[in-house]
Structure 1
Amino acid sequence: MKTLIKNATIVNENQLFKNDLLIEDDLISIIENNISEEGVDKIIDAEGKFLLPGVIDDQVHFREPGLTHKGDIESESRAAIAGGVTSYIEQPNTAPNAVTQELLEEKYKIAAEKSFANYSFSMGGTNDNLDEVLKTNPKNVAAIKLFLGSSTGNMLVDNPETLEEIFSKVKMPICVHCEDEKTIRENTEKYKAEYSEDIPVKFHHLIRSEEACYLSSSKAVELAKKTGARLHIYHLSTVKETELFRNDIPLKDKKITAEVCVHHLWFTNEDYDTKGTLIKWNPAVKTFADKEGLWKALQDGRIDIIATDHAPHTLEEKDQPYTKCPSGAPLVQHSLVAMLEMHAKRRIRLEKIVEKMCHNPAILFEIEKRGFIREGFKADLVLVDLDSKWTVSKENILYKCGWSPLEGTEFSSKVTHTFVNGHLAYENGKVSEEKHGERLLFDR
């Protein structure tokens, strides 16, 4: 199968340039001007559109197995490709938790049958499964995931000796959720004493506070420096945490890296008044000053990746009192267009969006032949129209849970085409029912 994309403005490796691109089977074969149309099966005229590498989301929760009333690999990966996300790394806090090699491989088997996008699943660490963690194959598993906060119940890793052993012995990326359990518990009890179970959600960022985040993140960074571990901290939410990271060396040489999520760049605690528990995340959306500090660190290189922490729940689950309402929300269909909206508002260059959402995840996790528009690389590609207004509504949301915290938002950019391994997986609002997602491999 040969597909020719003509007249696209390609955004790649800090450059914008107009060119044609030929896809042969699953690979990008030629990038140059005026590629011959001879023998081509499909031609797409991309005049006026921008061609980006497929987005790689390094942190999603697709809820399968065990929590599939909220979402599943098929439904959420379909939403992902509609949003230009062609590869994802999914987290181990499913039911059962992916904390043995057997349970981890079960998830890969499900994805091999059901995933529209390329996939990897992180191995979960606990206080007592180091032997299983050390069996993880770095060639075909993205990372080890540790929860250093109370976000996930029995996956909390809080034994200092265990943590040091994991950090010392694991030779692949260790991805961590950092919030201090003791601080959160104390803050929660203080607000429960005043409000009982129905704490106003506007206090969420004071319960899961800056102190809780920084205390945990700083300890993780200190331990990584001590042990030489390859540490990646997920979803920074405070300006204070950004001080822990460097921007004076290339990403490929960094041992300690950081991610920010779309919602921490988009919302602030002021939005709790209108959005309520729909924007209850862990770590919490915090202040305007925190949001601005995250933007600054993203721009200057202390934060390396933009992701989603896509975590669907049903509206019935979200419509519970604060202490019973789960944290998390769906975002994977709207992450790229949200960042393109920030580009329209002159907050971020297109080249920087591509760097943080496509190139850097590929570099950081050492993903084979993805994340860049290069000859010989996998043809994971996204065409976007930067001048095509639309509004997020229940009618165009593809998440299984059927809602979005961005409902009612008008975007000025639209994903028009998504290619996964050379297959046109999404075109002008329609998802192809053919599944061409592949297991991600890593150059380690």
Structure 2
Amino acid sequence: MKKQLLVNAKLVNEGACFVADVLIHHGRIEKIAPHISDSNVDVFDINGNYLIPGMIDDQVHFRDPGLTYKADLTTESRAAVAGGVTSFMDMPNTVPNTLTRNLLEQKYQAAAQQSLANFSFFMGVTAGNLEEALRVDNESVCGITDDGLYFNEQQILANNPEYLEKLFSRAETLVALHSEDESIIDRNYERYFDETQGRIPFALHAKIRSVEACVTATKRVLSIQAKHQNRLHFFHISTGEEALLFSDSDDYSTKRVTAEACIHHLWFTDADYEKRGGDIKWNPSIKTENDRQMLIQALKEGRIDIIASDHAPHSKEEKTGTYEQVKSGAPIVQHTIPLLFELASRGEISIEQIVEKTSHRVADIYRMKERGYLREGYFADLVEVAPNSPWEVSEKSLLYKCGWAPVTGQQLSAKVKRTFVNGNLVFQEDKFISDAKGSRLFFEKIR
């Protein structure tokens, strides 16, 4: 296989930004140096653009199997790669829910045939499958989670402390949870339903799925984890008050509790409900500008460890109607990296911090083997981002199967130019260059 040489690149890695060349061979980074000369290579001129490790998105809902009318592994992995996401971890709320090891392996087999990006899948854990969930191999499965499964079970696990005691006392793999208090949400819903005579505006979503609902559940889960010291990860933290509950330690060899923020909670605020309405109805809800700013500050301090997309597509019909009718979630994986670079252009976060939170720390938390960094010997999952390439998110540019996005019409200044997955140039200048499939992700076996 011919080597690939990337020249004139501005590398962003491990807190530094520097100009260097990168040599790729057999899918891995063979050499990083100021100037590399090698014969029989394909040369790619990066033209002074940023070269970053591909985003590792630890929370996507690609809807495959069973819900493929709105998304599937082929379409959404293409959207991911076009957006600079080279690896993803998919949630278990497919049809059927991924609650057995057999169903889990079926998803891995399907991804091997369909996905352009590297992949892993969470095992679902509910009140009824504890023994099965605990049997997953933590070297080949990213973790276990209840995220999305509360539609089919009586309650999410954050509201079931007795069950969490059992789970946390025995789990040897990472447990990732959705954390909201359902009793508070139900109480809020009843109040606002009465006040609006059943015509709840979307702006009240932030009041119904409130700060109190998030903080109460998160405190409850943290108190149980403290007894058992299992590895625990919180998905989509949406409030500044919650962010203050987490440690700012950057020692991931000992850090047992980690947390993420999602791009929509860093980009939108409750003021956007007036314009975007049900398009930005997510669970947990998008909250205030103060919450948004506190989440960004928590990312800088290390209290929030990573950034994810929570890509959760629904059909246009499912996002149309009244507050009660519109489903929660939206497609955004194609736009997460460009939106983060837009925040960087505003001075809210640095490019180095983007790379840290979308690649380095994800690899650290999940103890991922040989990914997430620009290091010699690591897999060549690389993304070229041009910082001064203005473009508008149009419906025509969308790669999501559902055909819509909550950021349509948004003007952005940074654009993904090239994406390499395992050394394969898969995407370049708005075109897919290769149909090479991604690989299964693997993890260090550490309790």
Q: Normalized against structure 1, the TM-score is what?
A: 0.97
Query: Are the equivalent residues in 2 in contact too, given 1:149–1:180 (CA < 8 A)?
Result: no
CA distance in 1, matches of 2:327, 2:197: 17
CA distance in 1, matches of 2:112, 2:155: 26
CA distance in 2, matches of 1:291, 1:91: 25
In the alignment, which residue of structure 2 is the partner of 1:5?
A: 6
Matched, 1:80 2:80: yes
CA distance in 2, matches of 1:156, 1:212: 13
Cα drift, residue 34 of structure 1: 2.2
In the alignment, which residue of structure 2 is the partner of 1:39?
A: 40
In the alignment, which residue of structure 1 is the partner of 2:251?
A: 250
Query: Are the equivalent residues in 1 in contact too, given 2:179–2:217 (CA < 8 A)?
Result: yes
In the alignment, which residue of structure 2 is the partner of 1:14?
A: 15
CA distance in 2, matches of 1:156, 1:299: 30
Q: Indicate how the Cα distance of structure 1 residues 126 and 153 shifts in structure 2: closer, same or farther if over 3 A, else same.
A: closer
Q: Normalized against structure 2, the TM-score is what?
A: 0.97
- Taking the TM superposition and a 5 Å limit, the aligned residue runs for 1:230-309 are 230-309=231-310
Query: Are the equivalent residues in 2 in contact too, given 1:198–1:323 (CA < 8 A)?
Result: no
In the alignment, which residue of structure 1 is the partner of 2:225?
A: 224
Runs of 4 or more off by more than 6 Å in structure 1? none
Q: Deviations over 1:350-389 (max 9, x none)?
A: 1111000010000000010000001110010001111110
Query: Are the equivalent residues in 1 in contact too, given 2:85–2:117 (CA < 8 A)?
Result: yes
In the alignment, which residue of structure 2 is the partner of 1:208?
A: 209
Matched, 1:427 2:428: yes
Cα drift, residue 151 of structure 1: 5.8
Q: Deviations over 1:209-235 (max 9, x none)?
A: 111101111111111111111111011
Query: Are the equivalent residues in 1 in contact too, given 2:417–2:430 (CA < 8 A)?
Result: yes
Q: Secondary structure at the match of 2:146?
A: strand
Query: Are the equivalent residues in 2 in contact too, given 1:65–1:96 (CA < 8 A)?
Result: yes
Cα drift, residue 433 of structure 1: 4.6
- Taking the TM superposition and a 5 Å limit, the aligned residue runs for 1:103-182 are 103-147=103-147, 150=150, 156-157=156-157, 158-182=159-183
Q: Which runs of 5+ in 1 are unaligned?
A: none
In the alignment, which residue of structure 1 is the partner of 2:95?
A: 95
Q: Deviations over 1:390-433 (max 9, x none)?
A: 00001111000111111111111110000000000100000235
CA distance in 2, matches of 1:427, 1:250: 36
1:259 maps to a residue whose letter is E
2:405 maps to a residue whose letter is S
In the alignment, which residue of structure 1 is the partner of 2:340?
A: 339
Cα drift, residue 166 of structure 1: 0.7
CA distance in 2, matches of 1:148, 1:112: 24
Cα drift, residue 147 of structure 1: 4.0
CA distance in 2, matches of 1:61, 1:403: 16
Q: Deviations over 1:255-282 (max 9, x none)?
A: 1111000000111100000000000000
Q: Secondary structure at the match of 1:251?
A: coil
Cα drift, residue 288 of structure 1: 1.1
Query: Are the equivalent residues in 2 in contact too, given 1:197–1:323 (CA < 8 A)?
Result: no
Q: Indicate how the Cα distance of structure 1 residues 418 and 148 shifts in structure 2: closer, same or farther if over 3 A, else same.
A: closer
CA distance in 1, matches of 2:151, 2:36: 52
Query: Are the equivalent residues in 1 in contact too, given 2:174–2:232 (CA < 8 A)?
Result: yes
In the alignment, which residue of structure 1 is the partner of 2:51?
A: 51
CA distance in 1, matches of 2:356, 2:422: 20
Cα drift, residue 436 of structure 1: 2.2
Cα drift, residue 2 of structure 1: 1.1
Cα drift, residue 197 of structure 1: 4.8
Query: Are the equivalent residues in 1 in contact too, given 2:93–2:147 (CA < 8 A)?
Result: no
Q: Secondary structure at the match of 1:4?
A: strand
Q: Secondary structure at the match of 2:396?
A: coil
In the alignment, which residue of structure 2 is the partner of 1:194?
A: 195
Q: Indicate how the Cα distance of structure 1 residues 148 and 30 shifts in structure 2: closer, same or farther if over 3 A, else same.
A: closer
Q: Secondary structure at the match of 2:59?
A: strand
Q: Indicate how the Cα distance of structure 1 residues 423 and 357 shifts in structure 2: closer, same or farther if over 3 A, else same.
A: same
1:215 maps to a residue whose letter is T
Q: Indicate how the Cα distance of structure 1 residues 433 and 105 shifts in structure 2: closer, same or farther if over 3 A, else same.
A: same
Query: Are the equivalent residues in 1 in contact too, given 2:425–2:434 (CA < 8 A)?
Result: no
Q: Which runs of 5+ in 2 are unaligned?
A: none
Q: Share of identical aligned residues, percent?
A: 45
Query: Are the equivalent residues in 2 in contact too, given 1:278–1:405 (CA < 8 A)?
Result: yes
Q: Secondary structure at the match of 1:400?
A: coil
CA distance in 1, matches of 2:286, 2:119: 28
CA distance in 2, matches of 1:316, 1:278: 11
Query: Are the equivalent residues in 1 in contact too, given 2:93–2:148 (CA < 8 A)?
Result: no
CA distance in 2, matches of 1:115, 1:148: 22
Q: Deviations over 1:3-56 (max 9, x none)?
A: 11011011001111111111112111111122124111x211112211000110
